[in-house]
Structure 1
Amino acid sequence: MRSQSVKLPPPIADNPFGKLADYYCTGKVLGFMSEPARARTGDVSSAVQDFIDHLQYDRNMSEHTLHGYKVDVEQFVEFLNNECEDVDFPGSVNRLSVRNYMAWLAGTGYSRSSMARKLAAIRTFFRFAERRGIASSNPTSGLKTPRVDRRLPRFLEVGEVEKLLSAPRGESVSALRDRAILETLYGGGLRVGELTALSEKDLYLAEGAVRVFGKGRKERMAPIGRSAANALGAYLSRKHRLSPRKRRDPDALFLNKNGTRLSVRSVHRIVAKYMAIAGLNAEASPHTLRHSFATHLLDRGADLRAVQELLGHENRKCPVKHRVEKLETGTGIEQGEERRYFSGRNGRCDGRRR
């Protein structure tokens, strides 16, 4: 694995890890450190790849999640390679090595949420390594995760959503595709990865629903409403008239200009494009539409647990952060009552009962 130089920042007085900001190598103070030696990483690439294979095939994690775990673990290995002396990854990594890495992240300017994610990736890796016998213990045991400030997610008002959904103009295949993408993201509250993974066989347009595979490849039926179903129908009618050369991936629902499955990054660009056309918040993302979907349901009195299920939150204890102020005050939500879901303008969400 190619090594990159890691420049150490100066110690920071208000570092959340206290005096550990003065330590970046196993038990050595910066003022007495010699030239850092290269870590004996052994078969590091194999260990990391085995870990990623485990997440992919045993835990069914998505490509996006796998990439995040791989990047975070490899960054930790790079830190050990460049700054820690005589550390054999993963066998001789200890708790101080991990704490020093977290201090380095804090000093480099990483946010607490990024630090928490990276620590979670390292913790998961060493649980795997301990079970496989390539590490004798888990050096993250007992380490506290940095406290992350709870922030309310961004969302669009109903009028802003209407402007966004009206932004794609014309009857070209790309305009019809983009309109269907925006309608489906909002109408079903889908994650962007769930949207790009859709195939034509996952559509149930007569019922106004799509079959999606969420985190861990868990399957659920997501109602999308009449407006999204109509937009998908119009797109499919135009798409099926394309030449085979422009439909190189016959299973994929949303295609790019090369006729292959649309990527997550492309959907981000599409949303940003129409946010700009509609004159809305340029920082919004596909996930903003998911937050807006949940917010509007809660605003119209939908049951909290029903919204969690629509979003694909399997754990009943999993908090829905959308409009937390409403959960705290109780306004707009009446727990335990069976309510109709948001019957929005243009019929975007049907009045279904669970």
Structure 2
Amino acid sequence: MKWEYILKDYLTYLKLERGLSVNSISSYELDLIKLINFLKVKSISASPLTIDQETLQLFLYEIAKELNSRSRARIISGLKSFFNYLIFEDYRKDNPTDLIEAPKIGRKLPETISVEEIDELIAAIDLTKTEGERNRAIIETLYGCGLRVSELTNLRISDLYFEEGFIKVTGKGDKQRFVPISDYNIKYITIYKDQVRAHQEIKPEASDTLFLNRRGAQLTRAMIFTIIRQLAEKANIRKKISPHTFRHSFATHLLENGADLRAIQQMLGHESITTTEIYMHMDRTYLREVLETYHPKKT
């Protein structure tokens, strides 16, 4: 059985059975294509049904030359999933990755930025330019609602329930959730929507999309990264800031100000509370303050 045939089957399974997002499916596909290309370059005639542990180890040794431990661990995890799928579909009886260990990696916590630094980023926006109000609304929404970048770019006008104080967000696996939005955040989205977007020529396919580029089309993930990077440079902030930095800061600041972890979990759209806990990189001083404030026998 050819790799291309089984790969197509597998990607369909990830989409329909596991409900993974387009980005996750793309990552699985690219990692398997790396393996397929390796076999071609090395002239190794191994099919998905016959490839063995030794061949996979050779592949992993090869990619170790150019990838860090975190990327290698992700690829190994993807390979394990792929061969488990083959077993599930009765293509194979064994998983050749069973004895392959992923490199040990620590949990790398994303950088956070302070409220003051967020204010500095916003202050760096040139509101005299057409895109100024849009960029302010983008920053306020990333931080104010803790959205993933894909959730932000896919946000629609019909998802805005401002009277109720919520927005409807489509997250990983096309799962939807309602996220509360502050009046402060609503104000800047409304300014952009009514004073800038309303006067744009909009492409038909983007008629309901909230955040648009200059050509009236949906903004890309890459453009959001670029906007944030340029603002950070202009504000002279040395930290490595990405859209996810705002999401992490959103969760961290809520927790530090006494928000319930379960509520944060719901707002972030995490299925497991364990995932939410990874975001909560509280220092020991803060934990001490929590104990002294809330424990019944604090004195």
Give the alignment's TM-score, normalised by structure 1.
0.76
1:288-327 pair list within 5 angstroms: 288-326=245-283
Deviation at 1:55, TM superposition (A): 1.6
Range with bigger deviation, 67-76 or 159-168: 159-168
Range with bigger deviation, 243-252 or 143-152: 243-252
**CA distance in structure 2 between the partners assigned to 1:246 and 1:281 by the alignment:** 37
Alignment match of 2:36 (pick from 71, 74, 77) = 77
Q: Does the CA contact (< 8 Å) of 2:39 and 2:45 recur in 1? A: no
Judged with a 3 Å threshold, the aligned counterparts in structure 2 of structure 1 residues 120 and 178 are, in CA distance, closer, same or farther, namely: same
**CA distance in structure 1 between the partners assigned to 2:155 and 2:15 by the alignment:** 19
Q: Deviations over 1:277-313 (max 9, x none)?
A: 2211362100111111112112212222322222111
Q: Does the CA contact (< 8 Å) of 2:147 and 2:268 recur in 1? A: yes
Unaligned runs of 5+ in 1: 1-41, 338-354
1:191 matched to 2:145? The reply is no
Structure 2 residue aligned with 1:285: 242
Deviation at 1:243, TM superposition (A): 4.8
Q: Deviations over 1:176-226 (max 9, x none)?
A: 111111100000111101111111111112333211111222211112322
Structure with bigger gyration radius: 1
Unaligned runs of 5+ in 2: 295-299
Q: Does the CA contact (< 8 Å) of 1:205 and 1:233 recur in 2? A: no
Higher helix share: 2
Alignment match of 1:99 (pick from 54, 57, 61) = 57
> Sequence identity, in percent?
31
**CA distance in structure 1 between the partners assigned to 2:36 and 2:83 by the alignment:** 13
Give the alignment's TM-score, normalised by structure 2.
0.88
Q: Which amino acid aligns with 2:25?
A: L
What's the secondary structure of 2:198's corresponding residue? coil
Judged with a 3 Å threshold, the aligned counterparts in structure 2 of structure 1 residues 74 and 181 are, in CA distance, closer, same or farther, namely: same
Structure 2 residue aligned with 1:119: 76
Q: Does the CA contact (< 8 Å) of 2:159 and 2:167 recur in 1? A: yes
What's the secondary structure of 2:227's corresponding residue? helix
What's the secondary structure of 1:317's corresponding residue? helix
Q: Which has the higher contact order (CA 8 A, sep 6+)?
A: 2
What's the secondary structure of 2:278's corresponding residue? coil
**CA distance in structure 2 between the partners assigned to 1:203 and 1:168 by the alignment:** 24
**CA distance in structure 1 between the partners assigned to 2:15 and 2:231 by the alignment:** 34
1:86 matched to 2:45? The reply is yes
Alignment match of 1:269 (pick from 226, 237, 252) = 226
1:49 matched to 2:8? The reply is yes
Q: Which amino acid aligns with 2:35?
A: F
Judged with a 3 Å threshold, the aligned counterparts in structure 2 of structure 1 residues 217 and 333 are, in CA distance, closer, same or farther, namely: farther
Structure 2 residue aligned with 1:24: none
Deviation at 1:231, TM superposition (A): 0.9
Structure 1 residue aligned with 2:22: 63
Q: Deviations over 1:144-166 (max 9, x none)?
A: 22211223320101210111123
Q: Does the CA contact (< 8 Å) of 1:304 and 1:333 recur in 2? A: no
Q: Which amino acid aligns with 2:29?
A: K
1:104-183 pair list within 5 angstroms: 104-106=62-64, 108-170=65-127, 172-183=129-140
Judged with a 3 Å threshold, the aligned counterparts in structure 2 of structure 1 residues 100 and 154 are, in CA distance, closer, same or farther, namely: same
**CA distance in structure 2 between the partners assigned to 1:314 and 1:165 by the alignment:** 32
Q: Which amino acid aligns with 2:175?
A: K
